[in-house]
Structure 1
Amino acid sequence: MKFTPRSEETRQFIIESTAAVFNTKGYAGTSLSDLTEATQLTKGSIYGNFENKEEVALAVFDYTIAHRDKIIAKAQQKSVTNKDKLLAYVAIFGSEHSGDFIKGGCPLLNAGTEADDTFEPLRKKVNKAIIDWKKEIESILQAGIAAKEFNKNILPEKTALSIMALIEGGILLSKTTNKPAYLNTVLDSVKDMIDAISRE
């Protein structure tokens, strides 16, 4: 028998109320009591709208990624050139804008590190989010090449992966050492890379 939530409105409330908890404590580290505390709902109310904690976790990941994507899209709407669109990543992931994202840091990094060997449904969602992000950057690079903003000899996939790896690596270094300056230093390298592929 297919599970049917009691209320889509309550379901969304649970997702939004627990997003920061999952993103901070981790998907395995978040308990049912954490969920009831964050929502002020009973166990019955939570499990009346989700089959189990894993289903809540998957819905929360979708929500945190959608939130992240909206921030990126909003920043890029102000961009005039393809180079500006790439530089928007440098701006929005900088430590001074960390408060724009859901508490706990990058959901890709958090979920990907935790789920790689233990939570296959979540790993698949992280994989899709990473591939979507890579395609988005590749598309910007290809548009920039066509518009003669970027060097025609660059390899879009390699460049996209390098930008992504630097950003995520910078977030990891900053978070684990509690030194926001490390992230800003790495993002300066991303900016240098973008400048290097740009045509005068």
Structure 2
Amino acid sequence: MARQLRAEQTRATIITAAADLFDRHGYESTSLSDIVEHARVTKGALYFHFAAKEDLAHAIMELQARAARQVASEVESRGCSSLEFLMRTTFETARLAVEGPILRAGLRLATADLAVRPPLTHPFLDALDLTTRKLRAALRESDLHPDIDVDAAAHALVCFFVGTRVAGRSLEPAARLPRRVAEMWHLTIRGLVPVHRRARYLTLVSQLERETRAL
């Protein structure tokens, strides 16, 4: 049992180290030797758990997908509107990205030239599918302008969220992400939401940013 626990701890250490390097330097620019040095493990320990760098990236993407499903499930249980659901999930994802490198690396791996092995699907496609469904529901709930192109809006929103972190990585710390997400929603709400519905959601943006920073 103790041996199994040590093996699990070593695997987690390797994944965290790889995620940190993938986030800071990119998948292509990170070698297995870099990961061994950063994790402070032997090459034998790394190869015991992962045969190739791609396996490490896939493990990180699996953890990201699991976290995304958990966030969506927890927010869904609140019974909030579809637009509020999207707002809360993006802020919660931002919080997790600030707290640790797994979600940050997942965001960067989503933009890497990396094949995603079944049954896992590409995180961009998962996010796009969920965002499209929720925006269609928000349209039915009269929280969007009736002439909105939902497919275009969903694509833009997902790109906006991922790009906020990817583009800002080398310019500002991860702790800035909640502010950037708030800015994203301020612009999105003014572009998509009818005037008489905006006040509620703009107030919610400020509330969620405060909550995210406080956690």
TM exceeding 0.5: yes
How big is each residue's C-alpha offset from its partner over 1:124-162, in whole Å with a ceiling of 9 and x where there is no partner? 999721111101011112222334443333222111011
- Match among 1, 19, 23 for residue 23 of structure 1: 19
**Contact 1:149/1:198 (8 A) holds in 2:** no
Quote the Cα distance in structure 2 between the aligned partners of 1:50 and 1:185. Answer: 39
- Structural mapping, 1:64-143, within 5 Å: 64-92=64-92, 98-100=97-99, 102-103=100-101, 106-113=104-111, 115-116=112-113, 120-122=114-116, 128-143=122-137
Which residue identity does 1:17 align to in structure 2? T
Aligned to 1:189: 187
Which residue identity does 1:141 align to in structure 2? L
How big is each residue's C-alpha offset from its partner over 1:16-60, in whole Å with a ceiling of 9 and x where there is no partner? 32333223212341434634753x654333323332232222222
Could you tell me the TM-score, scaled by structure 1's length?
A: 0.69
Q: Kindly tell me: are residues 93 and 129 of structure 1, through their superposed partners in 2, closer, same or farther at Cα, counting changes over 3 Å?
A: closer
Q: Kindly tell me: are residues 112 and 97 of structure 1, through their superposed partners in 2, closer, same or farther at Cα, counting changes over 3 Å?
A: closer
**Contact 1:18/1:35 (8 A) holds in 2:** yes
Unaligned runs of 5+ in 2: 199-215
How big is each residue's C-alpha offset from its partner over 1:83-134, in whole Å with a ceiling of 9 and x where there is no partner? 211221453355x66434x327633441144x32xxx425999972111110
Superposition RMSD on alpha carbons, in Å? Answer: 3.7
Unaligned runs of 5+ in 1: 1-6
Quote the Cα distance in structure 2 between the aligned partners of 1:15 and 1:198. Answer: 52
Aligned to 1:4: none
How big is each residue's C-alpha offset from its partner over 1:154-197, in whole Å with a ceiling of 9 and x where there is no partner? 22211101111221222234322216255543342234345349
- SS of 2:169's partner is helix
Q: Kindly tell me: are residues 168 and 49 of structure 1, through their superposed partners in 2, closer, same or farther at Cα, counting changes over 3 Å?
A: closer
Which residue identity does 1:61 align to in structure 2? M
Quote the Cα distance in structure 1 between the aligned partners of 2:109 and 2:119. Answer: 9
Identity of aligned residues (%): 13
Aligned to 1:54: 54
Quote the Cα distance in structure 1 between the aligned partners of 2:166 and 2:102. Answer: 12
Aligned to 1:160: 154
Could you tell me the TM-score, scaled by structure 2's length?
A: 0.65
